[in-house]
């Protein structure tokens, strides 16, 4: 699949649910309205869609949410998709808040998952609870330990929030690297579903990197994972530190991904509202001809880049849908 700007689309991010057992302040409101279950694709339908994308050249699939591991039966989906590894699919991964990992890590590893991303925004239990509203830090840390015991490679994702967790980043970097984990810092993005003023949360990672460089030796790295992060190696720890900077330096010129929601809507760009309905052709017939044509048509509409802006003139979200609907 080649988009209008010559970019090869090889990476599919799939949300299996908009539901989550946390209420992170940068992701959703405290009392979100979730989608009716009748609108959500079955796991069998999600598998069929993923298989269609693999046939069209997708090499990496990341399962997301919401929190994907709260979806009943989701391990069965991993097992089915894992059968494609080595037969077109190079990697099956997962982004999770870690709350369910303790009981599911071994099943994920058995299904063919080798590495996962875990969202972790603080190592302070009270601050972690304030950011997630409902989260229990001890439960997440236990899940991370279980995942490592199961042989999963872990990268931590930390959304940097001004005046909230930006002062503990060096501690988190050291903590992650001491335990053999990469860590990636992420700029908060202007998406809907939260009440906070975006300008109060946002801190440019260019400033964060400059501050960290006063404490650490940051060595440029050519390491890539297929996603948008750009990495450095921290000289003092030997570990990798990533930066995802959709605001200060977007990565649109090399975008290789599309996002499928739990309702079967294909978003060609995280920062644009345009989407293609794949649920209708999926359910119209068991033959995948109509579905394949819908995918092909959608790729022709992939935009050059997003419209994310955060400043005091742009307090409203760039897109109205919350991150939990599109998939993290």
* pLDDT tens per residue, range 292-311: 999 999 999 998 875 545 44
Confidence of residue 201 (pLDDT cuts 50, 70, 90): confident
13 is in an annotated binding site: yes
- Dihedral angle of Cα 144, 150, 155, 158, to the nearest 10 degrees: -20
Range of the domain at 316: 11-326
164 is in an annotated binding site: no
119 is in an annotated binding site: yes
What three-state secondary structure class fits 240?
strand
24 is in an annotated binding site: yes
For residue 271, what are its two tokens? 């920062």
Question: What is the rounded CA–CA span in Å between residue 69 and residue 105?
Answer: 10
26 is in an annotated binding site: yes
User: Does some domain include residue 4?
Assistant: no
The answer to whether 120 and 98 have CB atoms below 8 angstroms apart is yes
**253 Cβ contact partners less than 8 Å away, ≥ 6 residues apart:** 305
252 is in an annotated binding site: yes
Instruction: Read off the CATH number of the domain in which 90 is found.
Output: 3.20.20.70
255 is in an annotated binding site: yes
What total number of domains does the chain contain?
Answer: 1
- Give the residues across from 181 on adjacent strands: none
50 is in an annotated binding site: no
User: Does some domain include residue 195?
Assistant: yes
pLDDT at 226: 67
- Give the residues across from 186 on adjacent strands: 159, 244
What three-state secondary structure class fits 63?
strand
pLDDT at 310: 47
pTM of structure = 0.88
The answer to whether 24 and 121 have CB atoms below 8 angstroms apart is yes
User: Does some domain include residue 2?
Assistant: no
**264 Cβ contact partners less than 8 Å away, ≥ 6 residues apart:** 41, 45, 49, 277, 278, 279, 280, 282
Confidence of residue 251 (pLDDT cuts 50, 70, 90): low
The answer to whether 160 and 188 have CB atoms below 8 angstroms apart is yes
Q: Mind giving me the DSSP string for 161-209? A: -TTTTGGGHHHHHHHHHHTT-EEEEEE---EES--S-HHHH---HHHHH
User: Does some domain include residue 202?
Assistant: yes
Confidence of residue 107 (pLDDT cuts 50, 70, 90): very high
With a pLDDT cut of 90, the percent of the chain lying above it is: 73
User: Does some domain include residue 6?
Assistant: no
267 is in an annotated binding site: no
User: Does some domain include residue 205?
Assistant: yes
- N- to C-terminal Cα separation, the chain: 22
Which one has a higher pLDDT value, 33 or 67? 67
pLDDT greater than 70 at residue 62:
yes
Which one has a higher pLDDT value, 121 or 328? 121
User: Does some domain include residue 150?
Assistant: yes
Tell me the average pLDDT of the chain. Answer: 89
What three-state secondary structure class fits 196?
coil
27 is in an annotated binding site: yes
């Amino acid at each position: 699949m080649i988009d209008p700007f010559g970019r090869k689309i090889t990476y599919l991010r799939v949300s299996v649910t908009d539901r989550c057992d946390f209420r992170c302040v940068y992701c959703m409101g405290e009392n979100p309205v979730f989608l009716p279950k009748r609108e959500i694709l079955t796991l069998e339908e999600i598998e069929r869609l993923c298989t269609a994308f693999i046939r069209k050249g997708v090499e990496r699939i990341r399962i997301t949410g919401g929190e994907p591991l709260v979806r009943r039966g989701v391990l069965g989906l991993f097992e089915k998709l894992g059968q494609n590894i080595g037969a077109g699919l190079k990697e099956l991964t997962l982004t999770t808040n870690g709350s369910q990992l303790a009981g599911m890590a071994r099943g994920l590893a058995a299904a063919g998952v080798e590495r996962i991303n875990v969202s972790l925004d603080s190592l302070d239990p009270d601050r972690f609870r304030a950011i997630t509203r409902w989260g229990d830090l001890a439960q997440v840390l236990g899940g991370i330990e279980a995942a490592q015991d199961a042989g999963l490679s872990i990268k931590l994702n930390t959304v940097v929030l001004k005046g909230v967790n930006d002062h503990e980043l060096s501690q988190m970097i050291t903590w992650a690297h001491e335990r053999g984990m990469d860590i990636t810092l992420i700029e908060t993005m202007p998406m809907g579903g939260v009440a906070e003023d975006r300008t109060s949360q946002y801190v440019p990672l260019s400033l964060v990197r400059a501050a960290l460089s006063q404490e650490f030796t940051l060595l440029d790295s050519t390491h890539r994972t297929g996603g948008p992060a750009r990495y450095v190696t921290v000289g003092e720890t030997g570990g990798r530190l990533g930066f995802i900077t959709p605001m200060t330096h977007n990565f649109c010129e090399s975008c290789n991904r599309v996002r499928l929601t739990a309702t079967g809507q294909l978003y060609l760009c995280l920062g644009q509202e345009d989407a293609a309905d794949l649920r209708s052709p999926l359910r119209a017939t068991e033959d995948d001809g109509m579905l394949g044509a819908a995918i092909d048509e959608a790729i022709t509409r992939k935009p050059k880049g997003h419209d994310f802006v955060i400043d005091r003139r742009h307090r409203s979200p760039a897109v109205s849908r919350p991150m939990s609907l599109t998939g993290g």
